[in-house]
Amino acid sequence: MAALKAGIVGGTGYTGVELLRLLLAHPEVRLSAITSRKEAGLPVSELYASLRGHTELRFTSPEQAPLRECDVVFFATPHGVAMQQARELLDAGVRIIDLAADFRLRDAELFERWYGMPHACPDILAEAVYGLPELQRAAIREARVVANPGCYPTTVQIGFAPLLRHGLVDPAHLIASCASGVSGAGRKAEIGYLFSEAADNFKAYGVKGHRHGPEIEQELRRVAGLDHADPSLRCLFQPHLVPMIRGMHSTLFARLNDAGQATDLQALYQQFYADEPFVDVLPTGSAPETRSVRGANSLRVAVHRPQPDTVMVLVVQDNLTKGASGQAVQNMNLMFGLPETCGLQGIALLP
């Protein structure tokens, strides 16, 4: 098949440059357009020196970019942008992968409550597919619009999925204590993310509620076979900021029921993810490190039973790769019938 023509809307943030890094090395993709109003006309390699010698592409304004001629367009934009442009692109036969939250929440009213804006296209929201390949692979293959998952929700779902799918835990008392590097906040100048503020520091944020909370519960209910608003499943989610650039560590807790206490959890996780190329279940007693996935599209998972009736699952990923842009490329591969690992087989960077 001919190379896929891909476009990126909003290519100047961290997820945008991660998409550039991956797509420019992808053997089946030709990057046709990348947009930025502020940087229009500027060569991409001048903004990102790491890409010198890899592309001659220049940033263009959204109005001038040939997005309608692309096979797939990625939105690496703030929330609210993709839903304004989705209909025009879909009418032109373009498939969409949105890295923001425009199509993640199935309830338009819930979206408005958490993101402070009405949804511009509820009909497209209704057909959008939530893009976590390990749990939604078949639907992603047929999708016109894919909602790329949030970074935290990816780790939480992968960590809890085997337990919920097999009904081994109390779904009303799930706990997710998660920590992310500073790049998770995006490429912006705010006091809390300055080096002198974030370095040598550790703090919780979003303690009154975080936007990823309803996304996490919605998708965990799907895994458990419940309605998307079923109150019988609750997950207490608390994010933290870690003084590092990229990486995410999630520590998950659940109360095992009688069936769960009688189950070999290590064997369960190994079997559940045996055929997943980007999920690595570590040996018994392991504790994964964020640096083991830096720059790679992979998650590493370790399952522990610290008490007879309690399970603890440790999950790490790179928040910009499997947590965002790498997962978006994985979704693209599925949507266009390419090998799922195509362009994503890079080894993590160490040290």
Query: Is the peptide bond preceding residue 351 cis, with omega within 30 degrees of 0?
Result: yes
Per-residue pLDDT of the chain (351 residues; tens, 9 = 90+): 689 999 999 988 999 999 999 999 999 999 999 999 889 999 999 999 999 999 999 999 988 999 999 999 999 999 999 999 999 999 999 999 999 999 999 999 999 999 999 999 999 999 999 999 999 999 999 999 999 999 999 999 999 999 999 999 999 999 999 999 999 888 877 888 888 888 999 999 999 999 999 999 999 999 999 999 999 999 999 999 999 999 999 999 999 999 999 999 999 999 999 999 999 999 999 999 999 999 999 999 999 999 999 999 999 999 999 999 999 999 999 999 999 999 999 999 998
pTM: 0.96
The dihedral through the CA atoms of 273, 220, 300, 100 has a sign that is: positive
Q: Rounded distance, CA 251 to CA 28, Å? A: 36
**Distance (Å, rounded) from C-alpha 140 to C-alpha 177?**
29
Catalytic residue among 151, 178, 235, 342: 151
- DSSP code string of 126-175: HH-EE--HHHHHHHHHH-SEEEPPPHHHHHHHHHHHHHHHTT-B-TTSEE
Query: How many other β-carbons are positioned within 10 Å of the β-carbon of residue 117?
Result: 12
Structural fold of domain 4-127 = Rossmann fold (3.40.50)
E strand intervals along 248-346: 248-255, 279-281, 299-307, 310-317
Paired tokens of 175:
């706990």
Q: Where are the domains of the chain?
A: 4-127, 152-319
**Residues composing the chain:** 351
User: Is the domain defined by 152-319 classed in CATH 3.30.360.10?
Assistant: yes
Q: Quick check: is 121 catalytic?
A: no
How far, in Å, CA of 157 to CA of 304, rounded? 17
- For 334-350, the DSSP string reads HHTT--TTTT--PPPP-
